[in-house]
Amino acid sequence: MSKRLFIHFPRPLRALAVLLACAGSAAHAATASGDPLTLSEALAIALLKNPSLQAYAFESRVAEARVLQAGIRPNPELAVGVENFLGTGALSGVKGLETTLQLSQIIDLGGSLTRRVETAESERALVGADYETKRIEVLAEVARRFTEAAADAERLAAARRAREIGEQTVATVRVRVEAAVVSPMELNKARTALALLQIEEEHAEHELAACRQSLAAALGYAEPMFGSISADLLKLPSVSEFAALAARLEKSPVLSRFAVEARWREAQVRLAQSLRRSGLRVSGGLRRVENTDDFGFVAGVSIPLPMRDQQQGAIREARERRAQLDVSAEALRLEMRATLFAVYQEMMHARTALMQLQREVIPSAEETLVLADQGYRAGRFSLLELLDAQKSLIELRAQVVANATAFHLHVIEIERLLGAPILPDAPRS
C-alpha cells in the first residue's frame, strides 16, 4: 500500500533513466490484473504513456532538426551568361557572342554559421529545460488526480458507513413503532433520512467513477485499467520549515530555466552581431568568345559596402530581450515565494485541523452518537436528537477526508513549485 502521497521528482537525466527502466514493470504490475494502483506506479506509467509528454517529445526532435539546419553551409551557385548577340554590325546575330560559365560561393566573414549553430544548440537546451518543466507539471497533475481518486474512494466508503448507520436507525425505529412506543411518523422520518444517505452514496459512486476516468486519461488510458487506489490519506509526511523550503526554491526547474534561456538570448545577440559583416561572394569561371573561338578565365569578388549597420535594430532587440529576462526572473521568483508561503500556510492549517478532528472532535461525536442511540432506545431522547447526532458525525468524518486531501494536495503543489520532494531525502512509496 502507498503510504505517502508526495511526489519524488528525479534529476533530469540519471535518475530519470533509472525511473524509466523500472516504469515498464510498474505499469505492467498495476494494469495486468487490475491490481491496486499506488502513486509510484501511477507516476511511472505517466512517464511512459502520458499523451502530453509523448507529444512534447517531438519538440526535442524539432530542436535537433534546427541544429542540423543551422549547420548547413550555403550551396555554390552556377551561372551561365551570354553577351554581345543580336546586335548590329559586328555584333549582329551571334558573331560577337561571348558565353560565360561562372561558379560563385559565399564566404562567411562574420562567423554567422558558427553563431547560428550556437543559437540552435542553445534553443535545444531550452527545449530540454521546457520538457523538464512539462514533466513536473504532468507528474504533479497525475498526483493530484490520484489524490482526488483516493479521496473519492474514502468519501464513498464514508457514504456507505453512513447509509449503514441510517439502516440501523430505521430498524431501531421500526422496533419501537411495532412496540407502539413511538408514532409511525418517526419511521417515515428515519426512512427519509436513509433515502438521503442513499442518494449521497450513489453520488459518491459517480464521483469516484469520474475521477478514476480522469486519472486514466492522465495515464494514457481510454478506460481505467487499474484496480482500487492504494493510498493512506491519513498518513501525513513530515514537512520542512518554510525557510528551508524557500531556500530550495531557487533550484526549481522553473527558475533554473531562466539560466538556460539567458544563454539562448546571449547567443542571439552574438548571432545578430555576426550578421553585421555580410558574406563575401567570390566567383570564377570560363568565357568563350564566339568570333575568335577563344577561351579565357574570369574571376570576381563581390563585397557589400557597410554604409549602414543593417543589424543595429536586431542587436538592440536581442539585448533588450536579454535584459528583460532578468526582470522577468525576479518577478517570477517573488511570485513563487509568495505562492509557496500561501500554500504552506494552508497546508499547515489542514494538518492542524485534521489532528484536532482526529484527537478530539471525532471521538466526542462518536460518543455522542452512541449516547443518543442508547437514549433513543430508552425513550430519553427524541428521533430528531438521534438523527442530528448522526448527521453531525457524518459531516465531521467528511471534514477529516477533506482536510487530509487538502494537506496532500498542498504538498503536491509545493513539490511542483520546488520540482523536488518536500523532504530532500524522502523515499518514494
> Could you state, in order of their start, the residue ranges of all structural domains in the chain?
14-73+108-276+311-418
DSSP 365-429: HHHHHHHHHHHHHTTSS-HHHHHHHHHHHHHHHHHHHHHHHHHHHHHHHHHHHHTS-SSTTPPP-
Write down the residue that cell numbers 553585421 correspond to.
276
β-bridge mates for residue 79, sequence order:
102
- Report residue 380 as a C-alpha cell: 430519553
Q: Answer yes or no: are the C-beta atoms of 280 and 106 closer than 8 Å.
A: yes
Which of 205, 208, 206, 199 lies closest to 163, judged by CA? Answer: 199
The answer to whether the beta carbons of residues 46 and 134 sit under 8 Å apart is no
C-alpha cell of residue 75? 550551396
CA-closest candidate to residue 397, choices 254, 234, 287: 234
Cell digits of residue 298? 574570369
CB atoms within 10 A of CB 334: 10
Q: What is the pLDDT of residues 223-250, one digit of tens each?
A: 998 999 999 999 998 888 999 999 999 8
Q: How far apart are CA 112 and CA 387, in angstroms?
A: 81
CA proximity to 169, closest of 373, 363, 389: 373
Q: Which H or E run contains 87?
A: none
DSSP assignment string, 292-341: TTEEEEEEEEE----SS-TTHHHHHHHHHHHHHHHHHHHHHHHHHHHHHH
pLDDT value at residue 86: 72
Instruction: Dump pLDDT digits (tens) for 159-169.
Output: 999 999 999 99
pLDDT at 214: 95
In three-state secondary structure terms, 282 is strand
Query: Rounded to an integer, what distance in angstroms lies between the CA atom of residue 72 and that of residue 117?
Result: 9
pTM above 0.85, yes or no: no
pLDDT, tens digit (0-9, with 9 covering 90-100), for 381-423: 899 999 999 999 999 999 999 999 999 999 999 999 999 887 6
Q: Write down the pLDDT at residue 301.
A: 87
Query: pLDDT digits over 72-101, tens only?
Result: 888 898 988 888 777 666 666 677 788 888
Predicted local distance difference test score (pLDDT) of residue 423: 67
C-alpha 220/C-alpha 30 separation (Å) is: 13
As a whole number of angstroms, the distance between CA 272 and CA 423 comes to 45
Q: Rounded to an integer, what distance in angstroms lies between the CA atom of residue 277 and that of residue 110?
A: 5
Looking at residue 424, its pLDDT comes to 54
Top-ranked range on mean pLDDT: pick from 93-97, 232-236, 271-275, 350-354? 350-354
Cell reading at 358: 482526529
Q: How many Å apart are CA 137 and CA 130, to the nearest integer?
A: 11
Q: Which residues make beta-bridge pairs with 280?
A: 107
- Taking the C-alpha atoms of residue 2 and residue 25, their distance in angstroms, rounded to an integer, is 17
Tens-place pLDDT, residues 19-42 = 333 444 444 545 544 689 999 999
Question: Is the Cβ–Cβ distance between 108 and 277 less than 8 Å?
Answer: no
Report the C-alpha gap between 155 and 153 in whole angstroms: 5
**CATH 1.20.1600.10 holds for 14-73+108-276+311-418:** yes
289 by DSSP, 3-state: which? strand
Determine the Cα–Cα distance for residues 47 and 356; give it in Å rounded to an integer. 38
Q: 272: which 3 cell numbers?
A: 545578430
DSSP helix/strand/coil, 134: helix
Residue 195 belongs to what H/E stretch? helix 184-218
| pLDDT given at position 97 | 82
Q: Which among 404, 281, 423, 288 is positioned nearest to 352, based on CA atoms?
A: 404
Give the residue carrying C-alpha cell 507539471: 137
What integer is the mean pLDDT of 339-366? Answer: 96
Three-class secondary structure of residue 369 per DSSP: helix
When the pLDDT of each residue in the chain is averaged and rounded to a whole number, the result is 86
Q: With 70 as the cut, is the pLDDT of residue 176 above it?
A: yes
Long-range contact list for 31-37, CB < 8 A, 24+ apart? 31/221, 31/225, 31/226, 33/227, 34/225, 34/226, 34/227, 35/226, 35/227, 36/1, 36/226, 36/227, 36/228, 36/229, 36/230, 37/146, 37/226, 37/227, 37/228, 37/229, 37/230
Q: How does 205-223 read in b/e, with b if 16+ C-beta sit within 10 Å?
A: eebbeebbebbbebbbeee
Q: What does the pLDDT read at residue 7?
A: 37
386 closest CA partner among 195, 194, 201: 194
